[in-house]
Structure 1
Amino acid sequence: MKKIFLFLFMAFIFTACGDDCYNAPQTIAFEFVNANDENLITNGTLSNFSVSEENQSGIQLTKTSDNKVILENVGAYNGTKNYIFNSNVKNFNFSIQSSEFKGGCDGYQINKLTFKGIGIDVKDEKGYYKIILE
């Protein structure tokens, strides 16, 4: 996770200068665990999963070396979009509310992430969301 933050920090430094620059929204990462705090990807329980936008287009996912999942290219819009997480363990919905900001560099920021579903619990950890699937 430290590598991701270092990469984002360096990307910000190199893009913060100049008239034409753009700041992408913050990275959203999920870790899926069970009630015993065991990573479900590591132990093989969560073997098949995807995320799609409400209009059914798939979202690119990147699995990290510590078995977290990064959602690619989400949050670069004004307003709220709804997403669906599908897996062999549990399905749930979530929404991302984003807005445009202007400043030294234009870009987007994620204002709110809302999870909806029965039998899930979400903890906002430092830099990622821990999703407990029961």
Structure 2
Amino acid sequence: MNTIRIYLIVACLCLSITACEKKDCFTPPAPVVFEFVDAEGKNLITTGQLHKDNFELREELGNRENELVEYKIREDDRVLLPEVGWSEGVIQYKFLSTIKSFSFLVKARKNKACGGTIIEQITLDGVEYEQKEGYILVILERE
């Protein structure tokens, strides 16, 4: 009888420890960062060709509706999208500028092991780009 009680206590203790660990665990998605360059590799924000007044990013909501996406220009003149990748599924976005516009898809899934989401794939359409370590290098040439 005592052996059964000990097993039950140990089992309950293990379950409660596991539940606490999962409840307290959360992993945000990796940040989405773009560097926009010309054909010669010069950063377009650094050269002044791109600035807050001549480009924007929009999330496609369907039925011809979209909404402005918040972004930040970092000190290294790369563009950080802090809200992209937090929703599960495939979401379509548009980059609109006076130089060139393009669409891109972000595919994210739930992080089952620790909450939050994981970005599985980012695909840009109609523009030359390269996945680098920690950012996406986008080559923009005038249309």
Kindly state the Cα deviation for residue 30 of structure 1 after the two structures are TM-superposed. Answer: 0.3
Q: How does 1:44-55 map to 2 (within 5 A)?
A: 44-47=48-51, 48-55=54-61
Alignment-mate amino acid for residue 52 of structure 1 = R
Shift of 1:50: 0.9
From 71, 74, 77, the counterpart of 1:61: 71
Aligned residues: percent identity? Answer: 36
| Residue type at the aligned position of 1:30 | F
Larger Rg: 2
Q: Among residues 74, 80, 83, which one is paired with 2:84 in the alignment?
A: 74
What is the rounded CA distance, in whole Å, between the counterparts of 1:72 and 1:20 in structure 2? 22
**Amino acid paired to 2:107:** Q
Indicate the residue corresponding to 2:24 in structure 1: 20
Task: Give distance in 2, aligned partners of 1:45 and 1:77.
Answer: 32
Contact 1:75/1:98 (<8 A) preserved: yes
Residue of structure 2 in register with 1:108 after alignment: 117
Task: Give the superposition deviation at 1:130.
Answer: 0.5
Q: Distance in 1 between matches of 2:97 and 2:26?
A: 34
CA distance in 1, matches of 2:98, 2:25: 41
Pick aligned residue for 1:40 from 19, 41, 44: 44
* Residue 74 (structure 1) shift: 1.1
**Matched residue pairs, number?**
115
Could you tell me which of 119, 125, 128 is aligned with 1:121?
A: 128
- For residue 107 of structure 1, report the CA deviation from its aligned partner: 1.2
C-alpha distance in structure 2 between counterparts of 1:107 and 1:80, whole Å: 15
| TM-score of the aligned structures, taking structure 2 as reference length | 0.76
> Which consecutive unaligned segments of at least 5 residues does structure 1 have?
1-16
5+ long unaligned stretches in structure 2: 1-20
| Partner SS for 2:104 | strand
Q: 1:132 aligns with which of 115, 123, 139?
A: 139
Q: Counterpart amino acid of 1:43?
A: T
* Conservation of the 8 A alpha-carbon contact between 1:59 and 1:72: no
Q: Which runs of 4+ in 1 moved over 3 A?
A: none
